């Protein structure tokens, strides 16, 4: 194979890196860190350089997205927090009890930052604890507190200035919003097609016509914007995603045509209830794609993956329902073929979307509960702030652990008079994580990285390198940390330790005692963290999840049984029915809480989480369908239709089979009930009254959801 010219290889590397924020982050952090360091070394900076450099570096490292006013507000708030932590450390430096109490306060504040934002909270918690501990190791006093806090604030503002200076050159990418508009237009078309909507036939036809025109206009604008953009890897990938939207739009228009033909043949009323959940799922999926392409957040990509899996299963059930008709109408056959084409197009959509997300390989905490999306409502920064009053119990336990251990570390280094003993509690802060599965997996890596970084930093200082060589080495380590912090955290820990050693100890004498003290503090801090992780040994949520999901299946089974009894006997929506509904909803809530905890387990404990989420969402949708049935209970007016008893028999047996299979982790063989569920199509048009017609339509919808769940369970066992 002929080797590519150097300039071409460099150009392709630049294209690849343009899709990632790592290079820009590393450059910002290096400039933010090195400028005050060089100014101080040349006598042009009279304040404490450690606080200036650390604050500037931490602010410059933040990959902040969203509205520019919100970005600026967040960065200024983070700078203020760092300055406050520095002041508190210096004020309490000469009082042991006050220092211990202040340490607990900073640890609790770190938990608050983590609760408020999973994107920005962790870095703020660690950096604020670092500057606090360094200030705690100073001479202390009000004058020192004012000086060090001012130095930290100046550093933070320098970091903010670097961030702001970059915005005109790398604005929020307008092409991403253009492509997202295409997906929103497709979603609007799916929503208008939904047979469950309030519009009549004439209004629906007019709305579809207007939306098709709007879609065509939007796609044309997207094509023009992408064609006028500078050619590159990102531009080509966005073109692929926009093309995926256009191809899906073609199938949407064809699907609408097939629906019109089906209506003319008189077969639509029997098929419409089963089509409704599919169109709703396609609407939500299209809007999730629009959200993910703009936000570039791994959590949105993961949500899109779950939605695509769910849509695939619903489409397969709907196709099976269409092909199972004894005398299929021509329009129905056409509709089934279009549904098959939509299903075959879904993997291409996922691949195109994944290619445009910067951190597609990260698994981020995300809500596995698929809420309906009525608008995009995209506020990447504001949505990253969690203002809920409910605090994750795992986070509370983490705050208690880190507060106790850091207080213990402060007591040790203060009472023993260790000049650099703050490395003990700082190592604990670096090693510990709120999710205990990741703590066990990463603790050894972080401890080793901190230890190696400390050794290498000492070696560089022992060599007594010339000023230029030492500054170069520091800049290289800073750049390496900024570049690897999101790619390989274990490697990044080595570099962060290295540049902190060079920053905090380059101005003083290098002795064996200092080196041994720092290494011993690092080892002791890592050991404390490891012992704490072992003491709070986690129960893997993946092992606890099956009975929770099985309980949710059985709660729906009981809820369905009560509703079927009330329908057949003319019963009311009484206390037992209300209690069954609440039990089913509470069971679904427990399932999603368990799924969220699984995300905190190591990756090898997360196998099959997407399939589990698909089952959980199907079960929740089934609960919602049953709740609609509950609204149509007519006291004293029994509904004597054999379809109710048949559906009850099929659904109860299917839900119990699902529960047993999940509990026993047993293979789910091809179930004959799946075919019966797919063929369950009561003729609602033959109903004698509107209540009967609506009940039969909801039973068809529930059968579709349940059929998709059985299919998902079979695929899970096969995988």
- Contact assessment for residue 606 and residue 714, using Cβ atoms and an 8 Å cutoff: no
More confident residue, 576 or 681: 576
Q: Are residues 162 and 233 in the same domain?
A: no
51 closest CA partner among 158, 141, 143, 123: 158
Domain end, chosen from 149, 171, 193, is at 171
Tally of domains in the chain: 4
Is residue 2 domain-resident? no
Q: Which residue has the tokens 């047996």?
A: 653
339 closest CA partner among 261, 266, 256, 238: 256
Task: Report H helices in 95-198.
Answer: 96-116, 121-136, 142-166, 174-193
Mean pLDDT on 542-555:
89
Query: What are the b/e assignments for 225-249, b being 16+ CB within 10 Å?
Result: bbeebeeeebbebbbbbbbbbbebb
Based on C-alpha coordinates, what's the Rg of the chain?
30
57 closest CA partner among 31, 87, 84, 78: 31
**pLDDT over 60 at 180, yes or no:** yes
Is residue 398 domain-resident? yes
**pLDDT over 50 at 220, yes or no:** yes
Report the distance separating Cα 72 and Cα 57, nearest Å.
16
- Which CATH number is 290's domain given? 1.20.58
Q: How does pLDDT run across 135-176, given as a tens digit for each residue?
A: 998 888 899 999 999 999 999 999 999 998 877 765 556 678
User: For residue 296, what are the domain limits?
Assistant: 174-379
- Contact assessment for residue 541 and residue 435, using Cβ atoms and an 8 Å cutoff: no
Give the lowest-confidence range in 203-217, 408-422, 501-515, 687-701.
501-515
Q: Are residues 256 and 242 in the same domain?
A: yes
Q: Are residues 395 and 312 in the same domain?
A: no
Report the distance separating Cα 190 and Cα 372, nearest Å.
13
> In 3-state terms, the chain is what percent helix, strand and coil (to 5)?
75, 0, 25
Q: Are residues 212 and 282 in the same domain?
A: yes
Q: Are residues 487 and 555 in the same domain?
A: no
Report the distance separating Cα 176 and Cα 238, nearest Å.
7
Question: What number of residues does the chain have?
Answer: 719
Q: 61: which DSSP letter? A: H
Q: Are residues 263 and 124 in the same domain?
A: no
Q: Are residues 24 and 45 in the same domain?
A: yes
**pLDDT over 70 at 548, yes or no:** yes
- Contact assessment for residue 589 and residue 552, using Cβ atoms and an 8 Å cutoff: no
617 closest CA partner among 367, 339, 365, 347: 367
Is residue 25 domain-resident? yes
Is residue 81 domain-resident? yes
Give me the half-sphere count of Cα atoms (radius 13 Å) on the Cβ side of residue 41. Answer: 19
**pLDDT over 80 at 433, yes or no:** no
Is residue 27 domain-resident? yes
Report the distance separating Cα 563 and Cα 573, nearest Å.
8
User: Percent of the chain having pLDDT more than 90?
Assistant: 18
The pLDDT of residue 513: 67
The pLDDT of residue 383: 45
Report the distance separating Cα 373 and Cα 368, nearest Å.
14
Mean pLDDT on 124-137:
92
* pTM reported for the whole predicted model: 0.59
The pLDDT of residue 444: 67
Q: Are residues 637 and 605 in the same domain?
A: yes
Domain end, chosen from 379, 407, 440, is at 379
- The total of other beta-carbon atoms located within 10 Å of residue 422's CB is 27
Q: Are residues 183 and 165 in the same domain?
A: no
Full 3-state SS string of 354-410:
HHHCCCCCCCCCCCCCCCCCCCCCCCCCHHHCCCCCCCCHHHHHHHHHHHHHHHHHH
Domain end, chosen from 171, 203, 233, is at 171
Is residue 1 domain-resident? no
Is residue 384 domain-resident? no
315 closest CA partner among 338, 339, 334, 281: 339
Give me the half-sphere count of Cα atoms (radius 13 Å) on the Cβ side of residue 513. Answer: 5
- Contact assessment for residue 494 and residue 541, using Cβ atoms and an 8 Å cutoff: no
Q: Are residues 197 and 101 in the same domain?
A: no
Q: How does pLDDT run across 616-631, given as a tens digit for each residue?
A: 888 888 887 787 777 6
Q: Are residues 179 and 304 in the same domain?
A: yes
Q: How does pLDDT run across 638-671, given as a tens digit for each residue?
A: 887 888 888 888 888 889 888 888 888 765 555 6
Q: Are residues 240 and 150 in the same domain?
A: no
Is residue 79 domain-resident? yes
Report the distance separating Cα 707 and Cα 682, nearest Å.
16
Q: Kindly tell me the burial class for residue 159, based on how many C-beta atoms sit within 10 Å of its own C-beta (0-12, 13-18, 19 or more).
A: buried
């Amino acid at each position: 194979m002929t080797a590519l010219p150097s300039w071409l290889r460099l150009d392709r590397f630049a294209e690849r890196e343009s899709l990632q924020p790592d290079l820009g982050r590393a450059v910002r952090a290096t400039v933010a860190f090195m400028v005050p360091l060089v100014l101080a070394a040349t006598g042009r900076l009279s304040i404490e350089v450690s606080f200036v450099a650390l604050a500037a570096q931490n602010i410059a490292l933040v990959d902040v997205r969203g509205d520019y006013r919100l970005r600026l507000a967040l960065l200024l708030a983070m700078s203020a927090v760092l300055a406050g932590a520095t002041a508190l450390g210096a004020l309490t430096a000469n009082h042991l009890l006050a220092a211990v109490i202040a340490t607990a306060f900073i640890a609790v504040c770190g938990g608050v930052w983590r609760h408020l934002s999973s994107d920005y909270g962790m870095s703020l918690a660690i950096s604020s604890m670092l500057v606090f501990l360094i200030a705690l190791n100073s001479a202390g006093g009000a004058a020192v507190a004012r000086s060090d806090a001012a130095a930290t604030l100046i550093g933070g503002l320098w970091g903010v200035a670097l961030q702001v200076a970059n915005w005109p050159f790398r604005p929020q990418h307008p092409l991403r919003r253009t492509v997202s508009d295409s997906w929103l237009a497709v979603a609007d078309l799916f929503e208008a097609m939904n047979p469950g909507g309030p519009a009549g036939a004439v209004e629906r036809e007019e709305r579809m016509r207007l939306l098709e025109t709007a879609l065509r206009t939007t796609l044309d604008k997207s094509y023009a914007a992408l064609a006028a953009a500078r050619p590159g890897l990102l531009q080509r990938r966005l073109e692929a995603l926009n093309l995926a939207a256009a191809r899906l739009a073609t199938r949407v228009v064809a699907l609408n045509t097939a629906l019109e033909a089906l209506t003319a043949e008189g077969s639509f009323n029997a098929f419409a209830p089963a089509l409704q959940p599919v169109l709703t799922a396609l609407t939500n999926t299209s809007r999730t794609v629009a959200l993910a392409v703009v936000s570039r957040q791994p959590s949105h990509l993961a949500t899109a993956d779950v939605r695509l899996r769910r849509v695939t299963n619903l489409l397969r059930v709907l196709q099976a329902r269409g092909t199972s008709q004894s005398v299929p109408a021509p329009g129905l056959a056409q509709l089934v073929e279009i549904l098959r084409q939509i299903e075959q197009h879904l993997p291409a959509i996922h691949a195109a979307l994944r290619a445009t997300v910067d951190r597609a390989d990260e698994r981020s905490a995300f809500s596995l509960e698929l809420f309906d999306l009525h608008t995009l409502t995209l506020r990447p920064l504001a949505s990253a702030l969690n203002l809920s009053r409910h605090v994750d119990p795992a986070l509370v336990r983490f705050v208690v652990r880190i507060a106790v251990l850091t207080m213990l570390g402060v007591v040790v280094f203060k009472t023993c008079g260790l000049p650099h003993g703050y490395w003990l509690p700082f190592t604990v802060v670096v090693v510990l994580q709120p999710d205990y599965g990741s703590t066990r997996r990463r603790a050894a890596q972080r401890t080793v990285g901190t230890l190696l970084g400390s050794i290498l930093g000492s070696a560089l200082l022992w060599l007594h390198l010339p000023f230029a060589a030492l500054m170069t080495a520091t800049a290289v380590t800073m750049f390496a940390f900024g570049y690897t912090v999101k790619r390989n955290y274990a490697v990044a820990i080595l570099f962060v330790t290295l540049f902190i050693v060079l920053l905090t100890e380059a101005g003083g004498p290098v002795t064996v005692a200092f080196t041994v003290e720092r290494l011993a503090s690092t080892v002791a801090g890592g050991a404390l963290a490891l012992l704490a992780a072992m003491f709070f040994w986690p129960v893997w949520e993946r092992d606890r999840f099956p009975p929770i999901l099985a309980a949710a299946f059985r709660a729906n089974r009981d809820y369905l049984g009560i509703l079927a009894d009330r329908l057949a006997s003319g019963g009311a929506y009484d206390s037992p029915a209300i209690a069954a509904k609440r039990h089913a909803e509470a069971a679904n809530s427990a399932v999603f809480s368990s799924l969220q905890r699984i995300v905190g387990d190591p990756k090898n404990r997360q196998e099959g989480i997407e399939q589990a989420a698909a089952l959980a969402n199907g079960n929740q949708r089934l609960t919602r369908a049953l709740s609609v049935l509950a609204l149509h209970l007519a006291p004293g007016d029994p509904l004597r239709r054999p379809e109710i008893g048949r559906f009850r028999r099929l659904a109860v047996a299917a839900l119990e089979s699902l529960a047993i299979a999940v509990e026993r982790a047993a293979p789910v063989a091809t179930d004959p009930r799946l075919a019966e569920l797919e063929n369950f199509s009561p003729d609602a048009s033959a109903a004698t009254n509107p209540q009967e017609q609506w009940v039969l339509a909801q039973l068809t919808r529930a059968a579709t959801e349940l059929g998709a769940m059985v299919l998902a369970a079979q695929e899970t066992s096969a995988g």
